[in-house]
Amino acid sequence: MSTVPVPQRKLFWRNFDVQYHSVHPGLRHMKRNMWELPHWMLWLGGVLDAHGYSDMGVLDLYTDPGTFIEPGRLAKDAIEEAARSSPADVYLFSPMTVNLCYAYEISTVIKQIHPRSIIVYGGVAATPLADEVAAHPSVDYVVVDRGERALPALLDALRDGQEPTPVGNLVYQREDGTIRRTATRYPDVAPADLPFPKIDLFPRRSGEDIRYLRQVYALGCPYQCTFCTIQTIGRRPGYFPIERVLREIRAYRAHYGAHHSIYWGDETFTLHPERTLELLDALAREGNIQYDCQTRLNCLTDERVLRKLKSSGCQWIEIGLETGSQDTHHTHKHHMNLNATTETLKRVRDAGLATCAFTVNGFPDQTPDDMARSIDWISGLIHEDLLQATYLFGLVPYPGSTMFQHPERFGMKILHRDFSLYHEDLPPVYATDKATPDQIYQVFLDGLETFAEAMGKRPYFNDASPVGDLSKYGGFWADAHV
């Protein structure tokens, strides 16, 4: 991904990292700054391996400092060299929306160098834009929704020289230029039936470049936020067997480093208290796993869960507060009662848990003054030691979200479809009835400075210096991030 240099981010990330380090003792500095490994690749690698497709590799352009000549401009020579050194029969792409343009460029280079190769797209951007993606001259097939059944079926058809017509969840362009969607829709594979991930898809040294290891307990989130594009939203969660989860953690840490903490990728980790307690008991018995998780404010009401989170190794909880407007929550994020915020955050803090918020700026039912009040509200929670830190993202109506599909419902006008600009650190790609893009973006930039100041205080948990010797925090904060 092409990072965006926003000057206000530097102090923001520095102070964020001081707060983060204060509750993650022993955190090692990364050699190359990444959040995590792309979990979908390890997961899908396991699916393919189980189907006999074991000869696979990774074309790693993410951490290569030579991938971009400058922000937004790929280094074509570097792409060509990477493609030549990684010949394959099939290349798989799963770009995020803002990366779609770069994926196209890389696909085009691959097609030029390996013209007989097959290029398959899938994932969170390719699924809602399937017809458009399939029409690109460098794309052969698009797998929509989850691919655990469709991708092996497609590879089988290609291997056997058969037409892909019977393959489900598939979109592709016919020779006459028309787009075809196959009729079959595969049911989702239950988590318990998914093959074990291909842990060693990346080399061991990749563990030196990442901040944590991502793990998943449940697939699915019953809530339907209007700005969310996760393809399991609105679905009842399905859970992995606990022993399978622990085996994955052990295997990941054995390969990439036992020092790594775990980040639970479940959108609502504490959704079902009994399920959560069952896992927390197992983590406590394991005894050596430190972890972070994310959840919702209304999923932190069970005192048993709060007590057990800390004793089972939880260090940091991320909560989607998004905005201080209750009316906005009613419209865009269901079942969130902000009246419970202070009391809930106090109970979480008193349980010994550091809390970080997700804050989103630019909701279409808010004026610039409304947006600024939300920033001040979150900042106040940090000053009151109810939050340890916060992220700040600009709202983006990504393809696949209700906002993108029906912007008119929310008083939005999407200005263009240049997806390279659908970036949470760039000016909004929409206007609203209440604010211009410039007004929204100015609140965002001001918010970065406000939050940087709020997070500049001495951490509530532990005694890390708010400034001091910055070298002990590594270099993560010094770069642009996404």
> Across the chain, what does the average pLDDT equal?
92
Q: Among residues 215, 211, 218, 188, which one has the least CA distance to residue 199?
A: 215
pLDDT over 70 percentage in the chain: 94
The third-level CATH classification (topology) of the domain covering 39-181 is Rossmann fold (3.40.50)
Q: What is the pLDDT of residue 360?
A: 97
Q: pLDDT tens, 392-439?
A: 999 999 999 999 999 999 999 999 999 999 999 999 999 999 999 999
Mean pLDDT for the stretch of residues 443-453: 98
For 19-75, write each residue's pLDDT tens digit: 998 898 888 877 776 788 888 899 999 999 999 999 999 998 876 668 888 888 899
- What pLDDT does residue 463 have? 60
| Residue range 337-387, pLDDT digits in tens | 899 999 999 999 999 999 999 999 999 999 999 999 999 999 999 999 999
pLDDT at 479: 55
100-156 confidence digits (pLDDT tens): 999 999 999 999 999 999 999 999 999 999 999 999 999 999 999 999 999 999 999
Of the candidate ranges 2-6, 159-163, 202-206, 451-455, the one whose mean pLDDT is the lowest: 2-6
Flag whether pLDDT at 481 surpasses 60: no
- Delimiting residues of CATH 3.20.20.70 domain(s) in the chain: 7-33+202-478
Right CATH for 7-33+202-478 from 3.90.1170.30, 3.40.720.10, 3.20.20.70, 3.90.1300.10: 3.20.20.70
What is the structure's pLDDT at 474? 62
Q: Is the pLDDT of residue 312 over 60?
A: yes
Residue ranges matching CATH 3.40.50 in the chain: 39-181
